[in-house]
Amino acid sequence: MAGARVARLAALLLGLVCSGGLWAADKVAQAPADYPGWHDAPLPDGPIGAAIAQGRRILSNAPKYAKAYSGNGLTCTNCHLDGGRTPAAAPWVGIWGVFPEYRARNAQVNTLQDRINDCFERSLNGKRMPNDAPEMTAILTYMQWLSREVPTGESVKERGFLRFKAPEAPSAERGAPLYAEHCTSCHGKNGAGRGTLGTADFVPPLWGDKAFNIGAGMARLTNAAAFIKAKMPLGKGGSLDDQAAFDIAAYVIKQPRPDFARKKEDWPQGGKPPDARY
């Protein structure tokens, strides 16, 4: 019996090493609870159901349904995959109950409305919307619906992105041929993506005028590497090793993209992360 236990333990350790070490172990340990928001479900009848549906439409195609506040060729669900219902891709399941939340980037206690506007200004390179805007109300209603049955104040497992470290210093030079091998078939050699947002063949731009600006979370090396490792190439998440994910991320975030006009206001009390673009 002791020998069998040792063999099972050895097999488990070998599996963790072969599948990416601490990142894979962390992923196994943080399997999400099976809250309703992870799954498709009929919407409530009446105005609430209509608001949920509109919120989902806005987040899936902000340039069309929130045109006044969107400034590039991206939408929210390009990163928050499957309508914000994908673990380790910054899901919105449970997000309703964890705000207000202190954020060092502006050294303030932020509401969920603040956090949503942060993404519109940075990831969508657009503008803040008023807290009482119909678009904001619809987005909040959708996020609350996704968060049903999640205890207030509880962060769901795999909220945000899974963290891991590069075995070696990330290299954009190594990342360039890796990008060409794994990414150009969808995002293109020039990082411009393809297709039209809202159509089946759409692939989001990674750099250039229609991409996220330098103030976006995805412009940080650790965030980009975590997303690439967990979810890219699309449908083949986890197929890249840790170093390749960091090297591709280093190459992508180095490319030209829009500036963020208020970047000097960030981290007023210090604590700026070393991988910030500015």
- Asked, colleague to colleague, whether 36-146 and 172-265 share their fold, the answer is yes
Distance CA 32, CA 86 (A): 10
The yes-or-no verdict on residue 240 having pLDDT over 80 is yes
Percentage of residues of the chain with pLDDT beyond 90:
85
Segments making up each domain of the chain, as ranges:
36-146, 172-265
Taking residues 52-81, report their average pLDDT. 97
Q: ∠51-54-58 over CA atoms, to 5°?
A: 135
Taking residues 237-248, report their average pLDDT. 97
Q: Domain 36-146 falls in which CATH fold?
A: Cytochrome Bc1 Complex; Chain D, domain 2 (1.10.760)
pLDDT at 31: 65
* CB contact set of 202 (below 8 Å; sequence gap of 6+): 193, 194, 195, 196
pLDDT at 17: 30
Taking residues 129-153, report their average pLDDT. 97
Distance CA 125, CA 78 (A): 14
Taking residues 169-188, report their average pLDDT. 98
Taking residues 185-197, report their average pLDDT. 96
Question: Based on the number of CB atoms within 10 Å of its own CB, is 59 exposed (0-12), middle (13-18) or buried (19 or more)?
Answer: buried
In which band, very low, low, confident or very high, does the pLDDT at 72 lie, cut at 50, 70 and 90?
A: very high
**Which residue, chain included where needed, has tokens 């333990």?**
9
The least confident of 2-11, 89-98, 144-153 is: 2-11
DSSP string, 227-251: HHHHH-STT-TT-S-HHHHHHHHHH
In which band, very low, low, confident or very high, does the pLDDT at 116 lie, cut at 50, 70 and 90?
A: very high
What's CA 104's distance to the chain center, in Å? 19
Q: What are phi and psi of 62, to 5 degrees?
A: -60, -40
The CATH number given to 172-265 is 1.10.760.10
Taking residues 147-170, report their average pLDDT. 92
Taking residues 78-96, report their average pLDDT. 95
Distance CA 275, CA 172 (A): 14
SS3 of 124, please? coil
pLDDT in tens, 6-48: 333 333 333 333 323 223 333 433 567 999 999 999 999 999 9
The yes-or-no verdict on residue 239 having pLDDT over 50 is yes
